[in-house]
Structure formats: C-alpha cells, structure tokens
Amino acid sequence: MSVFKALQVTQAADGHFQSAVVERDTSSLPAGDVLVRVQYSSLNYKDALSASGNPGVTRHFPHTPGIDAAGVVETSSVDGFVPGDEVIVTGYDLGMSTSGGFGQYIRVPAAWLVKRPAGLTLRESMLLGTAGLTAGLCVEKLLRAGFTPKAGPVLVSGATGGVGSIAVSLLAHLGCQVVAVTGKAEQADYLQRLGATQVLPREALQEGTAKPLLKEQWAAAVDTVGGDILFNIVKSLRRGGSVACCGLTAGVNFQASVLPFILRGVDLLGVDSVEIPLADKASVWDKLAGPWKMAELEDLVEEIGLEQLPEAIQRILAGKMVGRALVKLD
Ligand code: NDP
C-alpha cells in the first residue's frame, strides 16, 4: 500500500461537481494487472467533460479523471511487463470509469499499455498524449485515403486546441501547406510558428451553410470541432478530397447533403483514438517517435501540477486553451 496524491472530483449535495487534490491509497485503485507510478499526464477536452460530470464520460463519483498517463511499472502480475518498464496509457476506460492519470498511481489491464518508444521521453509522450495520438491517426487516415503533402492546402479546424495544434505542427512537418481555422485571432503568430501558412477566422467556415456546395478549396482537412464547420468543410473539399473527423467542440450534430459525396467523390473519415486495437496505437506512437517527430513541440506546452488542474479544466471547457497542458505528477 502506498499513499499518493490525486485530483478527486466529487458531486456536492446541490448536484455541482468540484475538484480537489486529495491523498489516496493504492488499495483504493481498481483491480488490474499492472501498477504504474505516473510521472506525466496531460489535459484533454474529455477530461474536462469527466471533471464536470458529463454522464457520457463518467457516471460514478468520487472519481480521478485523466485519460492519459506515462510512467514506470511498479508491480506487474503478467509476463511482458516488469518493474522499471516505461509505459504509456491512453484511452480505453482510463479516466472514464477507471481511476485516471490525474493521480500519481494507476492500476490497469496490461492490454492497455504501450511500451515507451525509444525516440520519445515519457515527458514528450504526454506532451503529445491523446491529442497527439489523435492528430497522428487523422493524418494516417488522410494518407491512406490517397492524400499526399503536395496535393494542395490542408485545413485544420480548432487549430489552437490540443489536437488542432499538433495536427498543424505534424502536417507542416510532413511538408503540407496548412491552413489553420481559429476563433482566437490573437493566436495567429502561435499558429504560424507551428507551421501554418495561412490563418482563417472561424466565421469564414461558418458562412454559406444554406448552400449545397461551396467553392472547391481544400485537398484534405482535419476537423476537431464538428457542427456547421464540418458541414462547410465537406462542401469545400476539392474533388476526391478527404476530411478526418475527430471532435465535437462546435456540436455533435452536423447537417449533410449527399452532393459533395456524389458530385465530387469526397470522403468523410471517422477517427477514434480510444478503443482501437493496441497495435494500432503502438504503430502511430512509433511514427510520432520516429519519422513524424516534431521539433517545435515545446512551443505548445504549458507545464502544470495537480493544483493548477481545476483552473485549466475551466479554460478548456470555455474553449480558451491554447496548445497542451502537460501535467507533472512528481
Ligand atoms: P481543445 O479544447 O484543446 O481544443 C478544441 C478547440 O476547438 C478549441 O481550442 C477551439 O480552438 C475550438 N473550439 C472551441 N469551441 C468551439 C466552438 N464552439 N466552435 C468552433 N470551434 C470551437 O480540445 P482537444 O484538442 O483536447 O479535443 C478537440 C476535440 O476532439 C474534442 O471535441 C475532443 O472531445 C475530441 N477528441 C476526440 C478524440 C477521438 O478519439 N475521436 C480524441 C481526442 C479528442 P480555436 O479557438 O483555435 O478555434
């Protein structure tokens, strides 16, 4: 048994959810194959949904959120993992119903663990976290659909967010012409530093929703927001273009017309980073640690501790986060 620090979300008698840093004991963690001492986690939009009681993410409280964790194996009851192994966990049930990475320890099934690839430190892996894995999966789907970096401009929506920032950076790293869409005009310099060649205001992608087709502009797109913006992206893809759809900050519903699909042959590609097979996650981690390793990641990180998480959670819920919040647990 070890006492450890964790962010704990509780529901007050009036129904409100509140977060505080508490001391817990490892005996309070769920059963599992591997006990991991967490060194780093990171904040994702889904963590903020969990911490604010969204029943689609977490139903039982008190709860420690954190869908990402990177750390060192402390004990293992399975072959394949021994104390001292450095591991990464993202998604599956971590931080949803299972106590998550906003605590100094997690206990999880071995089937959730990826061994840290040689080209990334634990810190760098959480600088990327689920956001980086998702951006990588989006890019991989676009490439598999036939997109090539020289095919033409690629749009990224929600560009200053976690997934968006890394998508901009990764696409620029691959030699693409990246057009970033943001609601934060004041962050144009930040997006250009990440590699965007053009920055568009969010409103530009919210106009024209009544039209069945818009001018062909984008060879491909990474959409992290959904809603009317996704509707307009589909209508402004070039013939044969694709959009990878992964997020919902602008809304879970979007309108659709068959015309872009049947007149321009465009593709709408769904991206899930949570429940995909572990081997698929490991394959993208290897790319992010190797040929896709981005030099400018430090530019997009803000390092915080558990005590700063409640404020950062409010910021990400309000759509005001820029880049990634890396959570240091030690
Ligand atoms: P962030 O909050 O970091 O980024 C979201 C960004 O979306 C914001 O920074 C903002 O960027 C933009 N945005 C916010 N509100 C609105 C709005 N009302 N209309 C249009 N744009 C808006 O979140 P993450 O990067 O962590 O996640 C992005 C999305 O992807 C979330 O919906 C998340 O749930 C989803 N996701 C899905 C995954 C999957 O497996 N499919 C995995 C990871 C995340 P800006 O101001 O620059 O426009």
Q: Using a 6 Å cutoff on CB, does residue 37 contact ligand 1?
A: no
Domain 130-270 = CATH 3.40.50.720: yes
Per-residue pLDDT at 154: 98
pLDDT at 1: 67
Choose which residue among 42, 160, 249 to substitute to test ligand 1 binding: the one with the highest number of ligand atoms within 8 A of its C-beta. Answer: 249
- pTM for the complete prediction? 0.97
Q: CB of 49 closer than 6 A to ligand 1?
A: no
Residue 146 has pLDDT above 70, yes or no: yes
Closest C-alpha among 29, 32, 9, 28 to residue 19: 9
How far apart CA 264 and CA 231 sit, in angstroms, is 15
What mean pLDDT do residues 105-122 have? 97
Q: Which atom of ligand 1 is nearest to the CA of 319?
A: 14
pLDDT tens digits for 247-295? Answer: 999 999 999 999 999 999 999 999 999 999 999 999 999 999 999 999 8
| Topology agreement, domain 3-116+297-328 and domain 130-270 | no
Asked whether 56 lines ligand 1 (CB < 6 A), one says: no
Give all strands (DSSP E) within 193-323, no chain letters. 196-201, 218-223, 237-245, 267-270, 301-304
- In this prediction, residue 210 carries a pLDDT of 85
162 alpha carbon to ligand 1 midpoint, in Å?
A: 7
Most ligand 1 atoms within 8 A of CB, residue of 170, 225, 252, 315 to mutate? 225
User: Cα–Cα distance between 249 and 114 in angstroms, integer?
Assistant: 28
**3-116+297-328 in CATH: which number?**
3.90.180.10
- Cα separation, 269 vs 222, whole angstroms: 10
Give bridge partners of residue 25 from the DSSP assignment.
3
At residue 295, the pLDDT reads: 86
CA of 142 to the centre of ligand 1 (A): 19
Of the candidates 236, 175, 254, the one whose C-alpha atom is nearest the C-alpha of residue 200 is 236
Sheet holding 237-245, edge to edge: 196-201, 178-182, 154-156, 218-223, 237-245, 267-270
Q: What is the pLDDT of residue 207?
A: 82
Structure ipTM: 0.99
Which pLDDT tens digit goes with each residue over 193-237? 999 999 999 999 988 778 889 999 999 999 999 999 999 999 999
Instruction: Tell me the average pLDDT across 47-72.
Output: 96
CA distance 110 to 70: 14
Distance (Å, whole) CA 131 – CA 183: 19
Q: Where are the domains of the chain?
A: 3-116+297-328, 130-270
Ligand 1 atom showing the smallest separation from residue 44 Cα: 26
